[in-house]
Amino acid sequence: MSHHATSPQFRDNAHKALGDAQLQRALGNMRTGFPERRAAAAARLPEFEALRDSARDIKNHVLAHLDLYLETYAAKVEAAGGHVHFCRDAAQANQTIVDICKSLGAKTVTKGKSMISEEMGLNDALDAAGVKPIETDLGEYIIQLRGETPSHIIAPAIHLNKDQVEGDFRRVHQHLPKERDLSQPVQLLTEARGVLREKFLAADVGVTGANFLVAETGSSIIVTNEGNGDLTQTLPKAHIVVASIEKIVPTLEDASQLLRVLARSATGQEMSVYTTISTGPRRPEDPDGPEHYHVILLDNGRSSMLGTEFEDMLRCIRCGACMNHCPVYHAVGGHAYGWVYPGPMGAVLTPTLIGVDKAGHLPNASTFCGRCESVCPVRIPLPKMMRRWRELEFERKLTPGVQRTGLDLWAFMAKRPRLYSFAMNLGVKAMALAARGKGRFGKLPLAGGWTDYRDLPAPEGGAFQQQWKAKRGGPR
Amino acid sequence: MSSAEKKPIVGLFATCLVDMMRPSVGFAAAKLIEDSGCEVVVPAQTCCGQPAFNSGDRRTARDLALQVIDAFSGCDYVVAPSGSCGGMMAKHYPELFAGEPMLARRAQAFADKTHELTSFLVDVRGMERVSARHTGQATYHDSCSGLRELGVQSQPRKLLASVQGLELVEMKEADVCCGFGGAFSVKYGEISDAIVGKKAGNIVASGAPMLLAGDLGCLMNMAGKLSREGRKVEVRHVAEVLAGMTSEPPIGAPAKGENR
């Protein structure tokens, strides 16, 4: 089971998002904040660009030897007393988690923030099995109350304003007296913390994602800013780590390298507030920790990306920098993309996971401004890969008919310089004449895609090549 | 024959937009290239192929690339008053011939001699200043491909700083996309409009009465939005001001004496 994708309705989604004043206000706050903080963090570290190279190389190395590192990792987890479950797809992974929960008689499951669990639709699967999932990351907790999906991979509730959150808390937290002041973010945080504390203590199973899985030690690493991940994975009697197979890194040293670019790229922090490493279940000498430790290693289409032009996408460490710097994301927000992963990384990854026939808008809705690639900590060539999707669409004749016909007609002309030049010269002269006195068109037949929103500047009149010839003679 | 006597031959790739919409940019570019000590030629040309490349039609892009490479084969350099077409030719042409070693080598040689106008003037020709004058303030938008594919950022500013009487005022987020994106501007017109709306806000907030940039596509997008909003900002290609050739009305504006 997985989220119903609204990606085919991207255009409608975007239209609604652009007309949503509340959403636009929320997006306005992130548009400059994230880029400024990232730039400052990068500027403070002279070796930042070299670290990006190193981060890219570590991930490339892992992808070239993924089988080896997965085996090593699994053996280490087992040696530490944990269990590894290789799962081909979301359904198998969900079933495995449900089975573990049932075997422990679990009633509630606390969850750390995990995008892979969103991809799997884990909460729905748990609900359907009668196990109650409780999101413990504040943003995730808020959107769970609202029945929404994350709109950003590291800031899931970034589409909301604090007044909306107050409304949700008053609706769901029945114990709240009316006079209790919740107007400030810190008051909302305190309220959520109080409610979640009891959930942490009552939970039977804790599920976390993983930022990295370390092959040499069999450890999983998570980073959070709230400490919710630590309580999720240490208090219940079982800890289930769910991660996709490309999260593996060879050594703790490699993980440290990647951690140095992760938070800086994501939030502009040097490190996240909590970086937690867990290895197997509680040992006899440990003061706390889970009795059971399981790792769900999910493929869900990753292995079929290996060796293809989309392999580079498997380097992604889910920092969110690409969407933080994306003008399209800033305009429409994450929900418009219609599935789990928004922004440039989503525009590349989503078609591999749900099909380009459903997600074709995503790689097309880009200006190719390249800002995403310029900040990606592992240097994924995102625009190039979005273009690759457009090529695959074109090859499979999925490109819309009107666009294709237009392109064919234009190509016919562009391959015939004399004809092109003759026709252009006449065309622009006619256009210039039509716009005389105004210098622009407010409306032009067949150009509504442009003139519905902005004026079309008129040509000066007469093509450059003709004028050059007239003034300067032949080409030489 | 000494090298001082023989000027390098620069093929001006005017770009299809300049050819169609604003020939004065082509003449301004030619003047600047000549001022840098080169001879300018204009081989017959249509388009660099980028619209096909970005629409996924790789075959057409490849055919047009070959056409351009052939047309400019006699030139020492190829210069375009555009970072977008410049980026296509200097960065993407070689990709189009992967698996065709002979053509790939030609494409790479072509790419190596191809430059965006202001970076050609400053980085290749060592131009320090221009002789133009323009009284007043201007703000400069960094077009994406020029900025991120070709590293065009300091070069236009350096030359603008030498224009007598001109004061460059930086807008906020000068390096953020204007929302043009070629076919994107029409295919996703509403999103494009939202992006250029933010850009227009930053342009107006800079207080400068003139907007300059190095790519006509972006300029037409921004000029079209500014005029739709009723903003009185004069929009021009940076080459026009650097060449001191501003007698044409600004982009999207009527000729002097005609009605607005």
pLDDT in tens, A95-130: 999 999 999 999 999 999 999 999 999 999 999 999
* pLDDT value, residue B257: 61
Q: How confident is the model at residue A444 (pLDDT cuts 50, 70, 90)?
A: confident
The DSSP 8-state label assigned to residue B171 in this structure reads P
Mean pLDDT (whole number) for B114-138: 98
Q: Which residues contact B218 (CB under 8 A, 6 or more apart)?
A: B84, B141, B143, B178, B180
Quick one: average pLDDT of B52-76?
A: 97
**A359 touches A40 (CB < 8 A):** no
* Whole-angstrom distance, CA of residue B91 vs CA of residue B84: 10
| Mean pLDDT across A407-432 | 93
Separation between Cα atoms, residue B246 and residue B239, nearest integer Å: 10
> Closest Cα of chain A to B111: distance in Å?
18
Q: Is A434 on the interface with B (CB under 8 A)?
A: no
Contact A391, A341 (CB under 8 A): no
The rounded radius of gyration (Å) of the Cα atoms in chain A is 26
Interface of A with B in 25-64 (CB under 8 A): 31-32
Nearest to A458 by CA among A444, A469, A468: A444
Chain A contact for B188, CB < 8 A? yes
Q: Could you report the per-residue pLDDT of B24-47, keeping only the tens digit for each?
A: 999 999 999 999 999 999 999 999
- Torsions phi, psi of A275, nearest 5? -120, 115
Tell me the C-alpha distance between A138 and A155, whole Å. 10
Of A32, A330, A468, Cβ closest to residue B26: A468
Residue A403 has a pLDDT of: 84
CA distance B79 to B13: 6
Query: In chain A, how many H helices and how many E strands?
Result: 23, 12
pLDDT > 70 fraction of chain B, expressed in percent and rounded = 97
| Average pLDDT of chain A, as a whole number | 95
Nearest CB to B252; choose among A392, A410, A457:
A457
**Complete domains list, chain B, with CATH:** 9-123 (3.40.50), 128-242 (3.40.50.11810)
Higher-pLDDT residue of A447, A109? A109
pLDDT at A1 over 50: no
Give domain limits for chain A. Answer: 47-298, 414-472
Which of A 347-376 lie inside 8 A of B, CB atoms? 364-371, 373-374
Mean pLDDT, range A137-154, rounded to an integer: 96
Is some CB atom of chain B closer than 8 A to the CB atom of A253? Answer: no
Dihedral sign from CA coordinates of A104, A110, A116, A117: positive
Task: Collect all residues of chain B within an 8 Å Cβ-Cβ radius of residue A393.
Answer: 56
pLDDT in tens, B157-172: 999 999 999 999 999 9
Closest CA to B69 of B26, B103, B115: B103
Q: Categorize the per-residue pLDDT at A399 as very low, low, confident or very high, splitting at 50, 70 and 90.
A: confident
Under 8 Å CB-to-CB from A430, ≥6 apart: which residues?
Answer: none
What band does A446 get if pLDDT is binned at 50, 70 and 90?
Answer: confident
Contact in structure between A293 and A100 (CB atoms under 8 Å): no
pLDDT band at A34 (very low <50, low <70, confident <90, very high): very high
- Determine, for residues A332 and B46 on separate chains, whether the beta-carbon distance falls below 8 Å: no
Q: What is the ipTM of this complex?
A: 0.96
Nearest CB to B190 within list A370, A437, A453: A453
Give residue B3's pLDDT. 52
Three-point CA angle B134, B140, B144, nearest 5°: 145
**Which residues have C-beta within 8 Å of that of residue A449, sequence separation ≥ 6?**
B185, B186, B187, B189
Query: Which residue has 């999207």 as its token pair?
Result: B252
Q: Hey, are the CB atoms on B260 and A438 less than 8 Å from each other?
A: yes
State the best of A13, A367, A386 to mutate against chain B, taking most chain B CBs within 10 Å: A367
Give, in order, the Cα–Cα distances in Å from B208 to each of A80, B129, B240, B253.
66, 22, 17, 17
d(CA A442, CA B235): 17
Q: CB-based contact (8 Å) between A411 and chain B? A: yes
β-partners of residue B78 are B11, B114
Q: Do B38 and B67 meet the contact criterion of CB atoms below 8 Å apart?
A: no
DSSP A314: G
As a residue count, chain A comes to 476
Measure CA B124 to chain center. Answer: 17
Question: CA–CA separation, B98 vs B105, rounded Å?
Answer: 10
Counting Cα atoms < 13 Å in the Cβ hemisphere of B71 gives 24
Are B130 and B35 in contact by the 8 Å Cβ rule? The answer is yes
> What's residue A398's pLDDT?
86
CB contact under 8 A, A439 and B193: no
Q: What span, in angstroms and rounded, lies between the C-alpha atoms of A137 and A107?
A: 20
Predicted model pTM:
0.96
Question: Which carries the bigger pLDDT value, residue B169 or residue A444?
Answer: B169
Closest by CA to A99, choosing from A139, A69, A126, is A126
Mean pLDDT of all residues in B200-213: 98
Are B23 and A464 within 8 A, CB to CB? yes
Which residues of chain A make contact with B41, given a CB cutoff of 8 A? Answer: 475-476
Q: Which residues of A touch B142 (CB under 8 A)?
A: none
